[in-house]
Structure 1
Amino acid sequence: MKQQIIIIGSGFSSLAAACYLAKSGHKVTILEKNNTIGGRARQFKKEGFTFDMGPTWYWMPDVFERFFSDFKKHPSEYYTLEKLNPAYEVFFDKNDSILIEDTLEKIKNTFESIEVGSASKLEKFIGNAQSNYNIAIKDLVYKPGVSPLELVNYKTLSRLHQFASNIQRDVRKEFKNKRLAQILEFPVLFLGAKPSQTPSFYNFMNYADFGLGTWYPKGGMFSVVEAIKQLAIEMGVEIKTNANVVSIEIDNGLATHVVTQTDQYPADMVLSGADYHHSETLLPQQYRAYSEKYWDKRTFAPSSLLFYVGFSKKLENISHHTLFFDVDFDIHAQAIYDRPKWPEKPLFYASFPSVTDIEAAPEGCEAGIFLIPIAPGIEDTPRIREDYFNILISRMEDVTSQSLKEHVLFKESYCVNDFINDYNAYKGNAYGLANTLTQTAFLRPKLRSKTINNLYFCGQLTVPGPGVPPSLISGKLVSELILQDIQKRS
């Protein structure tokens, strides 16, 4: 029987779910709070410059291919990909940087030139990471987090010891050079937790990095959003922007209507890809499955202070993706996870899409996206933002040996308050719940509501976790649950 399905939010998980549900013949309507789609992956344009507001890394191309193949499509039908070389550059001090190139052989040579014997260790390490990737990304993450038994098979049982150790311990046992260790610990930051708190099994992120490489979709990550939007429209999905949902109406234990500021939408099924905590506040109190105390005790991935900057010249000594590890990461991490506060000496990341894509900035100019990871929920004021911009731009001037301040045409900032205002993000988080051992798979908030039979959730606060590929997978998983439940009731 054809169902009316209302989806709240238009991020990657919502768009993916909409495609699957519409493909199965159901009437799907997406309600998006903001005036453009994409959620955290929106786009910002100003004075001829184009910026991705959220994700800028295209990793795990196989996940995107698997998604499109479910519709007998391929990403190349919608956008053009370029493998970056270098994938990224890491600065440790002035005139001291390491380029991570586009093949494992090149990366092994780089490691060996810095630490004798590290090439063979890296090959073994990435081999293990690839095995874990094949288990995790090709199997485990496509489980809906309903039961702990989903994680039990002979492959995972043989790796139980990898959940008793952590990434940092494994890396530093093998690689003595601190710079190399930091590079190997870096990818798990995408999972939202410290390397010292991330189980060893998650080293599959190192295979995503060194094995599969870093790619760039022409036009930025928003071109992927637009691609999935186009697919959704092809499937028959209706998308409404400027539709801020204010409540989900419940009758006899079922969601019956989704109410915006201006309209009511009758629903047979409701799916929220909005912030999970916020989504439950749209319900009457008695139907909220997770308490404020529950959310307060979760380990959240960082929030971010972001700057979108237009430079009046082409910059020197930078790569498309550039990491500034010229200060102590452990001290910065304490300010995020242990004693939340603004870091005194922040690490930061910069993306310069115009290095690769000439359409990202006017001729002779450079588009820069800067990100400082910070604790969610901390104070956010214009003065703090300005102070940290001055810190990072001064550090970048010093580390890359060039003048920058007088070449800033404009800068726009985005931080905790904006994540709250635009996305209703709990404590202004940017990446959802961290993938720690106690917040993995079935231990995360559920895709299916515990209290309402036709209400579902998807996105980075549920399974499988933070990141763009996991969000696509989340949309697939929740759509499968919805379709199973529809079949049971028909």
Structure 2
Amino acid sequence: MKKTITIIGSGFSALVASCYLAKDGFDVTILEKNHTVGGRARQLSKDGFTFDIGPTWYWMPDVFEKFFADFGKKPSDYYHLDKLNPAYEVYFGKVDSIKIPDNLADILFIFEKEEKESAKHLNDFLDKAKHNYDVAIKDLVYRPGISITELITPATIKKANQFFSSIRTTVRKKIKNHRLQQIMEFPVLFLGAKPSNTPSFYSFMNYADFGLGTWHPKGGMYEVVKAMVTLAVELGVKIETNQNVEKINVENGEVKSIVSNGITIESDVVLSGADYHHTETLLEEKYRGYSENYWDSKIFAPSSLLFYVGFDKKIDNVSHHTLFFDTDFDVHAKAIYDNPKWPEKPLFYASFPSKTDSTVAPEGTEAGIFLIPIAPGIEDTFEIREKYFKSIIERFEQLTNQKVSENILFKESFCVNDFVNDYNSYKGNAYGLANILTQTAFLRPKIISKKVKNLFFTGQLTVPGPGVPPSIISGKIVSDLIKKQFTNI
């Protein structure tokens, strides 16, 4: 008799875990709260436009390749990838931007043009970053976060000092040009923490950026979700949508069943890819591994105010990914991490996938996604959203030297309240726990429940952390642990 596994949620980590577990012989069912799969990586379609609601960056292609290779597949079996050139563009002022090319030689040329001898410094920095990438992605991040000993290897002992110095300190030791500093500090924002609080070991994100490049799956990131769903179904995974899990039943310290839409479903194992904090509220209090005080004391990665905009014309002077660093990042960061409130002059990001992909917008139009990082848990109202949309569109027009406000066909927004309502996200966070030193590896919430046998967790609140590639890795880690627990199947 096959062991049954019920997975709560259908985000990247849950889909990945379902594939491995089905391959290993488990009877796997995914229960998704919403009417479509993908978790935070859902898709919005409107009037011929297509938007990724969640992740828009495709970095670390080797992680995706490794996942599909474990099933004898390749990403190209499911979706087409284009390497972006430029990878992205960064605005610092009016008609003042730097485009990051798709190869290191051209990147080095741009750095040297901005600051003499910076190309050499960048090359030296990236040599170390590549080594860190090899250590991290090929070894450390696939460890389950059970013990500190996982971090103690010959390679990490040599790099111990990198865990106690910051990315900011390392970058600014040799690079003095502020524009270049911002470009080099940008990748660690994917980890959900300030560069000043992120260990310099995470320079491997710079190698992911400059060394591996930025890619786009034709049709958007949701094509990756569709690929994983196709693979999961081929492997025998059952996926049910509109399933609101209301309770996890435990007897004598062991999970027995879940209640979804009022119906009890027995299960040998429950794996939650949903919000960790929310999942524990489905348990009786005595079975919860972490208190409310614990969660309240954690440093969370930002939430986001997002806008999905259809324009009736093509937008000039922007790239597929465009970052607007024309205001002070440190001031904005304080409004996220130190004194949570709405920022006065936020940095923002815009994605125009139709610059690369003609399938996501009608001919002659442009699909635009705008994102402002904000603190989780702050007030979210229609009036606030409108105020910030007006503000960033005005800045966008000034910085890119064009008028677009009269060319908006429609806009949709997504913010703190939506993260709570759609994903049961703690305080409406968008990316999980920040990857600072005190929340790294074994210091993150555990994949294996501390109090309930056969209850497991996966996703951005546990190891290895925020982002799509880490979520894929998290799904692999938890599936290995479950398989190990049932080696007799």
Bucket of the pairwise TM-score, normalised by the shorter protein:
over 0.9
- Deviation, 1:272, is 0.2
Q: What are the Cα deviations for residues 138-170 of structure 1, in whole angstroms up to 9, with x where unaligned? A: 110000011111111110000001111100111
Match of 1:242 in 2: 242
SS in 1 for 2:331: helix
- Deviation, 1:109, is 0.3
Distance of 1:3 and 1:155 partners within structure 2:
39
Instruction: Please list, as runs of the form range in 1=range in 2, the aligned pairs for 1:355-434 lying within 5 A after superposition.
Output: 355-434=355-434
- How many aligned residue pairs are there? 489
Q: What are the Cα deviations for residues 150-208 of structure 1, in whole angstroms up to 9, with x where unaligned? A: 11111000000111110011111111110000000000000000000000000000000
Distance of 2:95 and 2:240 partners within structure 1:
50
- Deviation, 1:262, is 3.9
Q: What are the Cα deviations for residues 252-299 of structure 1, in whole angstroms up to 9, with x where unaligned? A: 211111111142211000000000000000001100010000000000
Match of 1:352 in 2: 352
Distance of 2:220 and 2:363 partners within structure 1:
18
Q: What are the Cα deviations for residues 84-141 of structure 1, in whole angstroms up to 9, with x where unaligned? A: 0000000000011000000011100000011011111111011110000000011100
SS in 2 for 1:477: helix
SS in 2 for 1:112: helix
Match of 2:140 in 1: 140
Q: Does 1:307 align with 2:307?
A: yes
Q: Does 1:336 align with 2:336?
A: yes
* 2:46 counterpart letter in structure 1: K
Match of 1:472 in 2: 472
Q: What are the Cα deviations for residues 60-80 of structure 1, in whole angstroms up to 9, with x where unaligned? A: 000000001111111110111
Distance of 2:174 and 2:2 partners within structure 1:
56
- Deviation, 1:219, is 0.6
* 2:359 counterpart letter in structure 1: E
Moved over 4 A (4+): none
Match of 2:109 in 1: 109
Match of 2:275 in 1: 275
Match of 2:162 in 1: 162
Distance of 1:468 and 1:164 partners within structure 2:
26
SS in 2 for 1:127: helix
Match of 1:220 in 2: 220
Q: Does 1:97 align with 2:126?
A: no
Distance of 1:409 and 1:328 partners within structure 2:
31
Distance of 1:417 and 1:80 partners within structure 2:
34
Distance of 1:95 and 1:73 partners within structure 2:
44
Match of 1:439 in 2: 439
SS in 2 for 1:487: coil
Match of 1:297 in 2: 297
Instruction: Please list, as runs of the form range in 1=range in 2, the aligned pairs for 1:122-141 lying within 5 A after superposition.
Output: 122-141=122-141
Q: What are the Cα deviations for residues 201-226 of structure 1, in whole angstroms up to 9, with x where unaligned? A: 00000000000000000110000000
Distance of 2:267 and 2:253 partners within structure 1:
13
* 1:225 counterpart letter in structure 2: V
Distance of 1:352 and 1:335 partners within structure 2:
27
SS in 2 for 1:213: coil
Distance of 2:3 and 2:370 partners within structure 1:
43
Distance of 1:80 and 1:58 partners within structure 2:
12
Instruction: Please list, as runs of the form range in 1=range in 2, the aligned pairs for 1:187-206 lying within 5 A after superposition.
Output: 187-206=187-206
Match of 1:253 in 2: 253
Distance of 1:82 and 1:267 partners within structure 2:
42
SS in 2 for 1:368: strand
CA contact (8 A) 2:250 2:257 kept: yes
Distance of 1:161 and 1:253 partners within structure 2:
42
Distance of 1:79 and 1:463 partners within structure 2:
27
Distance of 1:262 and 1:251 partners within structure 2:
19
Distance of 1:329 and 1:80 partners within structure 2:
35
CA contact (8 A) 2:301 2:433 kept: yes
Q: Does 1:71 align with 2:71?
A: yes
Q: What are the Cα deviations for residues 363-416 of structure 1, in whole angstroms up to 9, with x where unaligned? A: 110000000000000000000000000010000000000001100100000000
* 1:44 counterpart letter in structure 2: L
479-488 or 346-355, larger mean C-alpha shift: 479-488
Q: What are the Cα deviations for residues 448-470 of structure 1, in whole angstroms up to 9, with x where unaligned? A: 00101110000000000000000
* 1:211 counterpart letter in structure 2: G
Q: What are the Cα deviations for residues 340-368 of structure 1, in whole angstroms up to 9, with x where unaligned? A: 00000000000000000001111110000
Distance of 2:487 and 2:309 partners within structure 1:
50
Gaps of 5+ in 1: none
Distance of 1:264 and 1:15 partners within structure 2:
23
* 1:438 counterpart letter in structure 2: T
CA contact (8 A) 2:12 2:471 kept: yes
Distance of 2:98 and 2:230 partners within structure 1:
39
- Deviation, 1:314, is 0.2
Gaps of 5+ in 2: none
Match of 1:322 in 2: 322
Instruction: Please list, as runs of the form range in 1=range in 2, the aligned pairs for 1:445-456 lying within 5 A after superposition.
Output: 445-456=445-456
SS in 2 for 1:317: coil
SS in 1 for 2:322: strand
CA contact (8 A) 2:246 2:262 kept: no
Distance of 2:124 and 2:209 partners within structure 1:
15
Match of 2:265 in 1: 265
Distance of 2:265 and 2:387 partners within structure 1:
45
Distance of 1:193 and 1:369 partners within structure 2:
22
Distance of 1:258 and 1:94 partners within structure 2:
55
- Deviation, 1:228, is 0.4
Match of 2:483 in 1: 483
Distance of 1:417 and 1:196 partners within structure 2:
29
Distance of 1:164 and 1:230 partners within structure 2:
43
SS in 2 for 1:97: strand
SS in 1 for 2:486: helix
SS in 2 for 1:248: strand
